[in-house]
Amino acid sequence: MQIQPILAALRRHRLATLLIAMEIALACAVLCNACFMIANRIAMMHIDSGVDETSLATVQLTGYEDSHAVDLNARVLAGLRSIPGMQSVTVLNSIPFGARRGTAGITLDAAAQHFGGVVEFYVGGPGSLQALGVHVIAGRGPQADDFRAFTGLMPSDASVQITHSLAEHLWPGVDPLGKDFWLDKMHYRVVGVIDHLVRPDPPGWPDNSKDWSIFVPAQPGKLLAGSYLLRADPRDVPRVLRDARAMIAKVAPDAVFDQEGSQTLSDLRATCFRQDRAMAGILVGVIVALLLVTALGIVGLASFWVQQRRRQIGIRRAIGATRGDILRYFQTENFLIVSFGIALGMVLAFALNVMLMKFYELPRLPLYYLPIGALVLWALGQIAVLGPALRAAAVPPVVATRSV
Amino acid sequence: MFDYYLNLALRSLRRNKVLTALMIITLALGIGASITTLTVLRLLSGDPLPQKSAQLFYAQVDPYTRDGYVPGKTKPQRLMAYPDAMNLLHAHQARRQAAMALTDAKIAPLHAGEHPFFSDGVMTTADFFTMFDAPFRYGGGWTADDDESRAQVVVISDFLNDRLFGGASSVGRTIRVNDHDLRIIGVLKPWAPQPRFYAQGLGGRSYGDGDAVFLPLQTARAASMDPQNDDCWAVADTSKLETAPCIWLGFWAELSSDGEVAAYRQFLSNYVQQQIALGRFYRPEVALSDLPQWLRDEKVVPDDVRLQAGLAFGFLLICVVNTVGLLLAKCLRRSQEIGVRRALGATRRAIFAQFMVEAGIVGMAGGLPGLVFAELGLWCIRHQPAEYAGLAHLDVHMFFLTFLVALVASMIAGLLPAWRASLLAPGSQLKAA
């Protein structure tokens, strides 16, 4: 296929060529960035929580008197544990993707000079860490005498488990076991490392800190009550939660059952990311509409060109060009224009990404999005031009002999 | 003349139905997307109290310590500590002033056998209702004396009144809030400013339903109702928030002239200097933002919504470029017709006008399906999991704006093709024919 005559023809239609190329360029810029944003949202939605979500549910109670908390715990734990199929019921202040009650800033020295970061304190009663199903990858899990009663905001001088990513953040490359940190005047010592334990509200945090969690063992009491972690076989979880609701009405009529907060962890996770899912859906919609419009534009202009060149096509056919030659002519023409648009579009995509990075917290666009975007647009161009090109190929040679 | 152009344009548009339909559909898609997102953006960035917002000011002082303080860079805290809010309240330096916090109010059922439920509550001080123009259906608000004497009174919303009392006047009746019996002294008419400006920073949502109960701050605290949001700068016993080193109150003042604003700003500075002299404060920064400014500072409009609006307008741009291309194709195809018209005496300007009219018709024709797409888009928004979802409706303004955007977009798209058409020389076109 000779490119020279195509270029010569395009030069005579500079404006139309430029317009299609522009449209492709804009489409390329938006396409790459929108795909990148979708990928980001999806990656966020698939964050590894580190816990056995499918086996877990939570019951949240409010509206009881603080002075009744100990009694309430006893009634609720006994009541819920009697539900058939329940594997364990434990007390845990914060719930992954659910209630958030332990967000605080920690320091690496008692004098509060070295700020460590804002982390989530999961304060849990006996058995709650096992119930979550997290994996202790170094050191040890909590032992029976670690669970102590406390009076302040949180237990002090506790032996705690922290996540691997938090350990790496606080003490990069150093063994975190035995290290100390402080929450204001309250002191903690690391005795174990867990691989993952997500914060209750991961969407609100930067990527590297979604997993900064600490497990503090404590004895349920006045300040650790009303938030329960239920574990059952994944098939039983929805039924167990329904039974739990009925059971609470029986054993704790003085408390308010928090309908919104008391869910299976799978449902809590879905709720937690529904905004991101909706946004990803909108972005997909934009991409589809965008590709559709771009394709329609190409179809429109290509049809116009075909009609305008009927006579030339007829002449070419009359002097020996095959249908295939004509078809390939329009396909190559489209390929050239789209390529030109893509080259322009890559620059635009980067400019748009820089702008988005400035106004929204979006990382830099990885380079591999560009060739993918290019492939999509090339394919789109070829599909869009196929119809008009086939119509061009169908022009009979006899047209050459007629005056238009 | 216009009639003639209209006639010509309609004729030309009819001649190539596919191309015309393509133009109209693309333009309509772009317009639909832009109007949808613009409606949401307008809804979210609206003025909650249009008649009053310029006179309402949010005051900030900063009781935090020197830790992490960078002079000139650190902005004052969003919330206020109880002693400061009370001092400012009792100073009466503004026409009206109120301190407030949000709370979960546990409301006991009136009949045995029903479950208690939680409603959104506001604990605040007497001026709240007059300052924010909250309208009463029955009764009225409480007085400053009621604030001080911890009067066991409450104002409830229309929807709570409907739920508990079937809409009849409940003034004088008693409801049990957080296990305390409170006498109802007022029932509001439906009142839900969007955004819920007074809740910014206090821990509540920004859009959606209004609050259900309003109680005097000290009455609520005596019933051990806790604020939704508190921040402490030292270890604190949060059960005694009044004396704890914690901030948890929002403070609004009504000031009606520039002079009053300047005077109040000065009053705030003096107050802070006095507190520094007393050793209570370290940071001298104060802030006094009017309502629109406060909403901007609080970034009440979600980033996602701005991003969507940006995307939609990017999409509209692509649609316009597309329309330019198609219009150009149409007008170049009619080179001969233009040549004839020019040869018969039409001026360049006349040709230009003719093609602009044609572009305008495409725009207006695109406006109607654009409106349909916008309604479709808003329907999707209403089914989104956002607190503002239920509010997304097309109003009269946006209805007309749709056609305006359609017209402007199509005129912009028509400029280039019309200009190209007007440049065609009459002679060469006639010869070719």
Q: Residue B384: pLDDT band by 50, 70, 90 thresholds? A: confident
> What is the model's pLDDT at position A1?
60
End-to-end C-alpha distance for chain A, whole angstroms: 28
In this model, does residue A290 exceed pLDDT 60? yes
In this model, does residue B167 exceed pLDDT 90? no
Best of B318, B383, B387, B419 to substitute, by most chain A Cβ atoms within 10 angstroms, is B318
Cβ-nearest to B29 among A65, A275, A293 = A293
Q: Count CB pairs under 8 A between chains A and B.
A: 120
In this model, does residue B351 exceed pLDDT 60? yes
In this model, does residue A404 exceed pLDDT 60? no
* CA–CA dist A120, A132 (Å, integer): 15
Cβ-nearest to A300 among B115, B312, B325 = B325
In this model, does residue A226 exceed pLDDT 70? yes
pLDDT for B234-261, tens place per residue? 766 777 888 888 899 999 999 999 999 9
- CB-CB neighbors (< 8 A) of A26 in chain B: 314, 317-318, 321
Q: A45 CA to chain B: closest CA distance, Å?
A: 15
> What is the model's pLDDT at position A150?
86
> What is the model's pLDDT at position B431?
63
Q: B402 CA to chain A: closest CA distance, Å?
A: 19
Judged by CB atoms closer than 8 Å, whether chains meet at A300 and B106 is answered as no
pLDDT for A293-314, tens place per residue? 899 888 888 888 888 888 889 9
- CB-CB neighbors (< 8 A) of A23 in chain B: 318, 321-322, 325
* CA–CA dist B386, B381 (Å, integer): 8
Q: A26 CA to chain B: closest CA distance, Å?
A: 7
Tokens of B47: 């003025």
- CB-CB neighbors (< 8 A) of A61 in chain B: none
Cβ-nearest to B106 among A23, A256, A292 = A256
Model ipTM value: 0.78
In this model, does residue B159 exceed pLDDT 90? yes
pLDDT for B215-224, tens place per residue? 999 999 998 8
> What is the model's pLDDT at position B389?
81
Judged by CB atoms closer than 8 Å, whether chains meet at B321 and A19 is answered as yes
Greater pLDDT, B29 or A63: B29
Supply the mean pLDDT for chain B. Answer: 88
> What is the model's pLDDT at position B428?
66
- CB-CB neighbors (< 8 A) of A249 in chain B: 115
* CA–CA dist B360, B364 (Å, integer): 6
- CB-CB neighbors (< 8 A) of B13 in chain A: none
Q: Return the closest-CA partner of residue A220 out of A375, A48, A78.
A: A78
Judged by CB atoms closer than 8 Å, whether chains meet at A256 and B19 is answered as no
> What is the model's pLDDT at position A380?
94
- CB-CB neighbors (< 8 A) of B318 in chain A: 23, 26-27, 30, 290, 293-294
Q: List the single residue in A with minimal CA-CA distance to B335.
A: A308
Q: A21 CA to chain B: closest CA distance, Å?
A: 10
The whole-number average pLDDT for the span A43-61 is 92
Give per-residue burial for A64-84: e unless 16+ CB within 10 Å, then b: beeeebeebbebbbebbeebe
- CB-CB neighbors (< 8 A) of B315 in chain A: 30, 286, 289-290, 293
Judged by CB atoms closer than 8 Å, whether chains meet at B19 and A307 is answered as no
For every residue of A146-186, DSSP letters joined together read: G-B---SSS-SSEEEEEEHHHHHHHSTTS--TT-EEEETTE
Q: Residue B314: pLDDT band by 50, 70, 90 thresholds? A: confident
> What is the model's pLDDT at position B433?
46
∠ CA A62-A66-A70 to the nearest 5 degrees?
95
* CA–CA dist B378, B393 (Å, integer): 7
Lowest-confidence pick of A224-228, B76-80, B106-110, B172-176: B106-110
pLDDT for A157-182, tens place per residue? 899 999 999 999 999 989 999 999 99
> What is the model's pLDDT at position A130?
93
Question: How many Å separate Cα B115 from the centre of its chain?
Answer: 35
Q: What percent of chain B has pLDDT above 70?
A: 98
Q: B332 CA to chain A: closest CA distance, Å?
A: 9
Torsion angle defined by CA atoms of residues B281, B282, B284 and B286, in that order, rounded to the nearest 10 degrees: -50
- pTM recorded for the entire structure: 0.80
The whole-number average pLDDT for the span A372-389 is 93
> What is the model's pLDDT at position B331?
79
- The position carrying tokens 């990858």 is A137
Q: B235 CA to chain A: closest CA distance, Å?
A: 7
Greater pLDDT, A11 or A213: A213
- CB-CB neighbors (< 8 A) of B307 in chain A: 279, 356, 360
Tokens of B42: 């307008």
Give me the half-sphere count of Cα atoms (radius 13 Å) on the Cβ side of residue B70.
3
Cβ-nearest to B318 among A23, A152, A278 = A23
The whole-number average pLDDT for the span B15-22 is 83
> What is the model's pLDDT at position B69?
80
Q: In what order do the strands lie in the sheet with A227-232?
A: A86-91, A227-232, A56-62, A256-257
Strands B56-61 and B246-254: antiparallel
Q: A133 CA to chain B: closest CA distance, Å?
A: 30
Q: A264 CA to chain B: closest CA distance, Å?
A: 19
* CA–CA dist A23, A344 (Å, integer): 10
* CA–CA dist B248, B262 (Å, integer): 26
In this model, does residue A183 exceed pLDDT 80? yes
Q: Return the closest-CA partner of residue B227 out of B235, B237, B217, B236.
A: B217
- CB-CB neighbors (< 8 A) of A293 in chain B: 26, 29-30, 315, 318-319, 322
Judged by CB atoms closer than 8 Å, whether chains meet at B318 and A290 is answered as yes
The whole-number average pLDDT for the span A19-38 is 91
Q: Is B279 left (phi over 0), alpha (psi -120 to 50) or beta?
A: left
pLDDT for B394-418, tens place per residue? 888 889 999 999 999 999 999 999 9
Tokens of A193: 């490392």
pLDDT for B327-344, tens place per residue? 888 877 788 888 888 888
